[in-house]
């Protein structure tokens, strides 16, 4: 039986569907926290639509916010013995330090890996390892440049203590930066977490410190670029 030829309208609809699918696969989705900022830029563009400068400024602001709040899909490793980077950015510090005292952990230094996020990095944060959130604590502080060594102690921060099924303790700390004015964390104590899940973000510019169990093997080096949820920071003991 001969196939019915497609009508021009059907061909146009099929082509539009292919274009939409291409856009979806190329342009990453946006985190919901960015909706008010993008909407504000579009509102300015709409109000000033008769003035090309105002319209251009509004559209540019909306585009910049959509880029900042982008939320690309990630595929974490299918392993239970690794800690992945909680964010995109550059590995700046590998040392040992006492984790934030407000979490109630023993006053003992742990291996630490710091990832600095520039204004152009993806700013959503990912769970570095599966387990249970034992404690989540926010501490007010300053807003100095997050690439300074002392920003871990002086800047505003939100700390999360995760205990794995094997009893390992991992701590991840969101640290506000020079332009950051809000830390968002969607996890509460007692929540069950999966490696690679999105759990928060920082607006705008920040740092993530990850504290590892003693005996962990660090797999990154200073200056290396890390990809949130995918780059392995360390293997557990």
**pLDDT per position as a tens digit, 162-204:** 999 999 999 999 998 665 567 889 999 999 999 999 999 887 6
Name the active-site residue from 152, 159, 206, 216. 206
Q: Report whether 145 contacts 154 (CB < 8 A).
A: no
Q: Is the pLDDT of residue 106 over 70?
A: yes
Report pLDDT digits (tens) over 77-102: 988 899 999 999 999 999 999 999 99
Q: Is residue 204 reached through a cis peptide bond, with omega within 30 degrees of 0 on the bond before it?
A: yes
pTM: 0.79
Distance (Å, whole) CA 15 – CA 17: 5
The DSSP element (H or E) to which 84 belongs, if any, is strand 82-84
For residue 8, name the pLDDT band (cuts at 50, 70, 90).
low
206 is catalytic: yes
pLDDT of residue 224: 97
Question: Domain residues of the chain, as ranges?
Answer: 8-68, 82-235
Report pLDDT digits (tens) over 45-59: 777 777 778 777 777
pLDDT of residue 89: 93
Backbone angles phi, psi at 168, to 5 degrees: -80, 145
Report pLDDT digits (tens) over 216-234: 999 999 999 999 999 999 9
Q: How many CA atoms lie within 13 A of 77 on its CB side?
A: 16
* Class of CATH domain 82-235: mainly beta
Distance (Å, whole) CA 171 – CA 135: 10
Distance (Å, whole) CA 205 – CA 122: 10
| Residue 11, both tokens | 């061909």
């Amino acid at each position: 039986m001969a196939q019915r030829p497609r009508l021009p309208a059907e061909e146009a609809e099929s082509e539009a569907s292919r274009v939409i699918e291409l856009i979806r696969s190329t342009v990453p989705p946006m985190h919901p926290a960015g909706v008010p900022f993008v909407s504000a830029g579009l509102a300015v563009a709409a109000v000033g639509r008769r003035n090309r400068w105002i319209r251009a400024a509004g559209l540019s602001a909306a585009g910049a916010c959509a880029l900042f709040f982008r939320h690309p899909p990630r595929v974490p490793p299918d392993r239970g013995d690794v800690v992945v980077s909680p964010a995109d950015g550059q590995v700046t510090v590998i040392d040992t330090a006492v984790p934030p005292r407000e979490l109630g952990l023993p006053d003992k230094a742990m291996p630490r890996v710091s990832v600095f996020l520039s204004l152009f990095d993806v700013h959503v944060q990912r769970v570095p390892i599966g387990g249970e959130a034992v404690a989540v604590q926010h501490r007010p502080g300053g807003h100095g440049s997050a690439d300074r060594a002392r920003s871990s102690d002086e800047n505003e921060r939100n700390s999360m203590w995760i205990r794995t099924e094997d009893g390992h303790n991992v701590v991840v700390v969101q640290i506000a930066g020079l332009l950051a004015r809000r830390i968002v964390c969607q996890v509460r104590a007692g929540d069950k977490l999966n490696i690679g899940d999105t759990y928060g973000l920082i607006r705008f510019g920040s740092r993530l410190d990850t504290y590892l169990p003693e005996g962990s093997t660090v797999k990154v080096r200073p200056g290396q670029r890390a990809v949130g949820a995918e780059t392995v920071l360390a293997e557990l003991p």
